[in-house]
Amino acid sequence: MTQMTEALKGNITPEMETVAKFEEIDVNKILRGVANGTIVIPKNVNRNTDVRGIGTGLTTKVNANIGSSTKIEDLDLEVNKAKLAVEYGADAVMDLSTGPKLNEFRKAILDAVDIPIGTVPIYEAGAHTLNANKEIIDMDPDLIFKVIESQAKEGVDFMTLHCGITKELVPKIQSQKRKMGIVSRGGTFLASWILHNDMENPLYENYDYLLELALEYDITLSLGDGLRPGCLSDASDIPQIQELVNLGGLVKRAQKVGVQTMVEGPGHVPLNQIKSNMELEKTLCHGAPFYVLGPITTDLAPGYDHITSAIGGAIAASNGADFLCYVTPAEHLSLPSLEDVKEGVIAAKIAAEAADVALGNEKALKREEEMADARRKFDWDKQFELAFDKSKPRVYKDKCEIEDKEMCAMCGEFCAVKIAKNDF
């Protein structure tokens, strides 16, 4: 049983009820969206979570990536990152751990938070391969599926799987002569494996078996963009679009058997190409929810990529993207700190809210009206309560102590709202 198979039967599940309540919309809209594949509710049958719906007509959701690297392993830090991400409004967390203790990290994170958890199983398969003193190109295809099933049994709710990189596509990547080549770790693993073994991508060749596993545990497939552009110069090129075409066919196959599926997207994309990228995904992938990293809109802002991605994310979500993967200030530079996670989540939440307002989402518009009322009334506590960051604005406000509560130190006696309060 999956959320989608139940929806296709016309059965409203408790998870659909929860999503409808959170979104403040009729549950039948959720039922129809899950049935036609435009909404997914990531929830493993082996795990109880505070579920979220992702897709058409719903508020834009935010994911936070955490996890160890081969150079830094601190279990308490990563668990605290997960908890902090939830505190600041993340709707899901992905554990991208690649260190020696990645299994321990994943289990701890699954236990620490009750929102949907995602993984990239090929990272674990790659780690096992290296630990066996083999190269990634010698990875055993059976190992990939054993890892997928093992993580499914543990309760992972959604998985990034790079199924769209095919043997036919690899030569096109080489001939494209990209500036950044392949920047996706999973994409690189599989493209290199295909090239050196002269064999088809195991995830593509054995896709029916993958669907069987997804059906058994109700794993939401997040079809990975292994060929996403890693710089603006590579955006919207032939390999990226061809992979998307491949994913569209795989989405249809998954939906046909009742497997929940979403599609991952770019990446580094110029502002003027974001709208067309979103529309192309929705067309090629049959309306499946679109999960985007950023997009990052300039390559010149290391240390500030939470801002470049928020700009791109707002445009993406207002043109069809449903799920924003946060980008932190540490992107391209280092493993993010707790403060980086906070900044990344807040930046993505700002982008999501801006898009939801632009789309006329009633829940978002209601929040904006509440903030406007609080500002007009000089209700500072209400303003702080509504803010994405409830502590930072209070710190700024308290920097300058002013007896008159109906003003701040910015305008003082020249406060426009106070002067005209009784006239307009």
Residues 273 and 398 in one domain: no
Q: Are residues 307 and 401 in the same domain?
A: no
Instruction: Tell me the C-alpha distance between 109 and 66, whole Å.
Output: 10
What distances in angstroms separate CA 373 from CA 230, 279, 356, 378, one per listed residue? Answer: 43, 36, 19, 9
25 and 128: one domain? Answer: yes
pLDDT at 406: 76
408/332 same-domain check: no
Query: DSSP for 200-269?
Result: --HHHHTHHHHHHHHHHHTPEEEE--TT--SSGGGTT-HHHHHHHHHHHHHHHHHHHHT--EEEEE-SB-
State whether 32 and 79 are in the same domain.
yes
pLDDT < 70 stretches in the chain: none
CATH number at residue 222: 3.20.20.540
Which pLDDT value is given to residue 345?
98
299 and 384 share a domain? Answer: no
pLDDT of 408:
77
- Over residues 43-101, the pLDDT tens digits come to 999 999 999 999 999 999 999 999 999 889 999 999 999 999 999 999 999 999 999 99
Give the predicted TM-score (pTM) of the model. Answer: 0.96
Residue 178 and residue 157 in one domain: yes
The candidate with the shortest Cα–Cα distance to 271, out of 302, 299, 306, 238, is: 299
Q: Are residues 257 and 179 in the same domain?
A: yes
For 254, the domain range is 3-359
Query: Tokens 């605290």, residue?
Result: 80
Query: Which of 33, 29, 27, 35 has its CA nearest to residue 9?
Result: 35
**What was the pLDDT predicted at 204?**
98
Query: What pLDDT was estimated at residue 379?
Result: 94
Q: Do 245 and 371 belong together in one domain?
A: no
Domain-embedded: residue 424: no
**Identity of residue 206:** N
Total structural domains within the chain: 2
For residue 293, the model assigns a pLDDT of 95
DSSP class per residue in 270-326 = -HHHHHHHHHHHHHHTTT--EEEE--B--SS-TT-HHHHHHHHHHHHHTTT--EEE-
**Inter-helix orientation angle 338-358/305-317, to 10°:** 30
